[in-house]
Amino acid sequence: MILQRTLTRLLTMIATLFGVAVVVFVVIRVAPGDPISMMLPPGASQADIDRLRALYGLDKSLVEQFVIWLTGVVHGDFGTSISLRQNVLGLVLGRLPATLELSIFALLIALAVGLPLAVLGARERGTAVEAGIDVANGVALSIPDFLWGLVLILLFGVLMPVFEISGRVSPQLDLPFTTNFYLFESIVRLRFDLTANLLGHMFMPALALALPLAAIIAQLLKQSLKELLTLDYMVLARVKGFSETQVILREGLKNAALPTLTLVGVQFTFLIGGTVIVERLFSYEGLGNMAIDAVVNRDLPLIQGIVLVFALLFVVINLVVDMAYALLNPRLRHG
């Protein structure tokens, strides 16, 4: 039973990734713009152009190209970046940790802001406090992440310069890291001076990404909590002598978290999508920033590699959300 479900799940994931691979492969080749013309100076001879096309396999048919690429991918070879002349897999894996750290930090900020607001709003339902939270949520939600990025740069980078506005870490620092998970490694190595520096760089882009998500969490969770508050087991908990906050936290939060969780999973993938522009804005050396360069340079293998990694990330997040859902809901656990 469990084996069968896991197998189905795995096949669905592979099918999803294959679909993404087909779409991205076709779209970037059909779209106007030619990587070869980006690489050669204007006025290059037709012979040179043809030679370069042959070198990158672009002279073959679309299907042939796809089969060659997919065979490579299955064997762990994602090809060579046209603009950077390096192994795509190495490039992508080199940048992925930076983006993962940024996204997870943003998710943590969103939870740290959204959860308490939801509980407070549910407890103070019908009061000015709840109205204030609603307004704040509306504002946070209706301004997109990249615009929040600009606002934050203006506030905390220019007017009141407390945070770094560019890069992932100060370039003059000597980094002892062996992996690219800088933040994680700095904590494990107890180099909190570096942790502080990394967080100083990461804070504003993370906050820009987090604000809309925080608003979604606060609003949705507050609503689910309010619906639960009139249920019999909540009333019973009040009769038992628990305070309103205790009732919400002990009896409500876990049940209200279920509908919120699904949406947070979806929204988190949007957040990762948002890193593409926000990383650019803050010159943060992550995968998203690299994606923009790859698109500008028509670096087909690199675009494919990055998109595939993003797709893999999304699929994994969905899997994690489903598992967390089953964990929170005892009725789904055996079956």
Partner 1 sequence: MSAPCLEIEGLSATLANGVRVLRSVSLTVEPGEVRALVGESGAGKSMIGKAVLGVLPPSIRVVEGRIALEGTELGKLAPRASRALIGARTALIPQDPLTALNPSRRIGPQMTDRLVKILGWDGTKADQRIRKLLDDVRIREPDRVLRSYPHELSGGMRQRVLIAAAFAAEPRLIVADEPTTALDVTVQKQILRLIVELQREHGTAILFVTHDLGVVAKISQKVTVLYAGKVVEQADTAALFASPQHPYTRALMAATPRYTDPMASLRPVDEAVLAGLSAEIATADRNWKPNARGSGHD
Residues that bind partner 1 (CB under 8 A): 126, 230-233, 235-236, 238-243, 250-251, 254-255, 328-331
Neighbours of 8 (CB within 10 A): 10
* CB closer to partner 1 out of 87 and 246: 246
Phi, psi (deg, nearest 5) at residue 87: -60, 125
Least Å distance, CB 327 to partner 1, is: 10
Distance CA 329, CA 262 (A): 12
Least Å distance, CB 127 to partner 1, is: 11
Q: Are 205 and 139 spatial neighbours (Cβ–Cβ below 8 Å)?
A: no
* CB closer to partner 1 out of 24 and 237: 237
* CB closer to partner 1 out of 20 and 264: 264
CA neighbor of 216 nearest in space, from 334, 134, 275:
134
Distance CA 78, CA 81 (A): 9
* CB closer to partner 1 out of 65 and 255: 255
Least Å distance, CB 213 to partner 1, is: 24
Distance CA 253, CA 256 (A): 5
Least Å distance, CB 210 to partner 1, is: 27
Neighbours of 278 (CB within 10 A): 26
Q: Are 291 and 84 spatial neighbours (Cβ–Cβ below 8 Å)?
A: no
* CB closer to partner 1 out of 189 and 240: 240
Least Å distance, CB 123 to partner 1, is: 13
Least Å distance, CB 112 to partner 1, is: 23
* CB closer to partner 1 out of 32 and 330: 330
* CB closer to partner 1 out of 41 and 126: 126
Least Å distance, CB 130 to partner 1, is: 13
Least Å distance, CB 255 to partner 1, is: 5
Least Å distance, CB 111 to partner 1, is: 19
Distance CA 285, CA 218 (A): 30
* CB closer to partner 1 out of 126 and 171: 126
Q: Residue by residue, what is the 3-state secondary structure of 113-178? A: HHHHHHHHHHHCCCCHHHHHHHHHHHHHHHCCHHHHHHHHHHHHHHHCCCCCCCCCCCCCCCCCCC
Which CA distances in Å does 52 have to 63, 151, 187? 19, 45, 47
* CB closer to partner 1 out of 217 and 257: 257
Maximal C-alpha separation, the chain: 86
Angle between helices 2-30 and 300-328 (to 10 degrees): 150
Q: Are 319 and 307 spatial neighbours (Cβ–Cβ below 8 Å)?
A: no
Distance CA 294, CA 169 (A): 23
Geometric angle at alpha carbon 288, from 163 and 10, rounded to 5°? 125
